[in-house]
A and B are shown apart, each in its own frame.
Chain A
Amino acid sequence: MKADNAAVSIRGVSKSFGSVRANYKVDLDIYKGEILALLGENGSGKTTLMNMLSGIYFPDEGQIYINGTERVIRSPRDSHALGIGMVHQHFKLVDVLSAAENISLGLHEKLNIRETEERIREICEKYGFDIDPKQKVYDMSVSQKQTVEIVKVLYRGADILILDEPTAVLTPQEAEKLFDVLRRMKNDGKAIVIITHKMHEVEEISDRVAVLRAGEYIGSVDTKDMDVEQMTSMMVGHSVSLNIRREEPVGVKPRIEVKGLTVRNDEGILKLQDVSFTANTGEILGVAGISGCGQKELLEAVAGLQPVESGEVTYIRDDGTREPLLGKDPLSISEMGVSMSFVPEDRLGMGLVANMDIADNMMLRTFRRGKGPFTDRKPSKKLAKEVVKKLEIVTPGITTPVRRLSGGNVQKVLVGREIASDPTVLLTAYAVRGLDINSSYTIYNLINEQKEKGVAVIFVGEDLDVLLELSDRIMVLCGGKVSGILDARTADKRLIGRLMTSQGGGESHE
Chain B
Amino acid sequence: MNKRIREPLFHIVKRDAPSLKRIFGVRIAAILLALLLCGIVTMITTGLDPLSVFESIFIGAFGSKRKIWITLQNTAILLLISVALTPAFRMRFWNVGGEGQILVGGLAAAACMICLSDKLPNALVILCMAAGSLLAGALWGFIPAFFKSRWNTNETLSTLMMNYIATQLVAYFTIIWEVPKGSGKIGIINQDSNIGWLPEVFGSKYLLTIIVAIAVTAFIYIYLNYFKHGYEISVVGESDKTARYVGIKVGKAIVRTMLLSGCLCGLVGLLLVGSINHTVTTTIADGQGFTGVLVAWMCKFNPLTMVFASLLIIFMNRGAGEISTNFGLNHSYADIITGIILFFLIGCEFFIRYKIQFRKKTAKEEK
Tell me if A352 and B242 are in contact (CB < 8 A): yes
Q: Smallest distance from the beta carbon of A41 to chain B beta carbons, Å?
A: 20
Q: How far is the CB of A330 from chain B (nearest CB, A)?
A: 4
A229 interface residue (CB < 8 Å to B) = no
Residue B335 interfacial (CB < 8 Å): no
Taking the closest CB of chain B, its distance from the CB of A66, in whole angstroms, is 12
Chain A at the B interface: mostly helix, strand, loop or mixed? loop
Chain B window 1-20, contacts with chain A (Cβ cutoff 8 Å), 1 for yes, 0 for no: 01001111001011111000
Size bin of chain A's contact surface: 35 or more
Contact B228 A373 (CB under 8 A): yes
Mark contacts of A54-70 with chain B using CB atoms, 8 A cut-off: 1 yes-contact digit, 0 otherwise.
00001011000000001
Q: Are B238 and A330 in contact (CB under 8 A)?
A: no
A199 to B239, CA, bound (A): 34
Instruction: Say if the beta carbon of B360 comes within 8 Å of chain A.
Output: yes
B247 contacts A by Cβ under 8 Å: yes
* Most chain B beta-carbon neighbours within 10 Å: one of A18, A332, A344: A18
Q: Which of A280-327 contact B (CB under 8 A)?
A: 303, 305
Looking at chain B's contact residues, the main secondary structure is mixed
Cross-interface CB contact of A72 among B5, B227, B235, cutoff 8 Å: B5
- Would you call A346 and B241 a contact (CB within 8 A)? yes
B226 adjacent to A374 (CB under 8 Å): yes
CB–CB A375/B238 < 8 A: no
CB contact under 8 A between A353 and B242, given known A18-B17, A363-B231, A375-B228: yes
Q: In the complex, which residues of chain A have a beta carbon less than 8 angstroms from the beta carbon of B230?
A: 375
Residue from A351, A367, A374, A404 within 8 A of B242 (CB atoms)? A351
Across-interface contacts of A107 in B (CB, < 8 A) = none
Q: Does B51 sit at the interface, judged by CB under 8 A?
A: no
Nearest chain A CB to B245 CB, angstrom units: 5
* Structural contact, B16 and A17, CB atoms closer than 8 A: yes
Known A330-B245, A330-B246, A374-B227; contact A356-B14, beta-carbon cutoff 8 A:
no
Q: Indicate if B148 sits at the interface (CB-CB under 8 A).
A: no
Residue on B nearest A370 in the bound complex, by CB: B228
By beta carbon, the residue of chain A nearest B17 is A18
Residues in chain B near residue A374, CB distance under 8 A: 226-228
Q: Would you call B234 and A351 a contact (CB within 8 A)?
A: no
B residues near A351, Cβ cutoff 8 Å: 242, 245
Say yes or no: B14 contacts A18, CB within 8 Å. Answer: yes
Bound together, the chains give a CA A404 to CA B15 distance in angstroms of: 13
Q: Please, what's the 1-or-0 string for B326-367, where 1 marks a CB less than 8 Å from any CB in chain A? A: 000000000000000000000000000000010010010000
List 26 interface pairs A-B (beta carbons < 8 Å), by A numbering.
A18-B14, A18-B16, A18-B17, A19-B16, A72-B7, A305-B244, A331-B249, A349-B239, A349-B242, A350-B241, A350-B245, A351-B242, A351-B245, A353-B234, A353-B239, A356-B234, A360-B234, A367-B228, A367-B232, A374-B226, A374-B227, A375-B226, A375-B227, A375-B230, A375-B231, A404-B16
Residues of A within 8 A of B (CB): 17-20, 58, 60-61, 70-72, 74, 303, 305, 329-332, 334, 342, 344, 346, 349-356, 360, 363-365, 367-368, 373-375, 404
Which 8 pairs, one residue from A and one from B, show the smallest C-beta to C-beta distance?
Answer: A18-B16, A331-B247, A330-B247, A58-B11, A350-B241, A353-B238, A74-B8, A364-B246
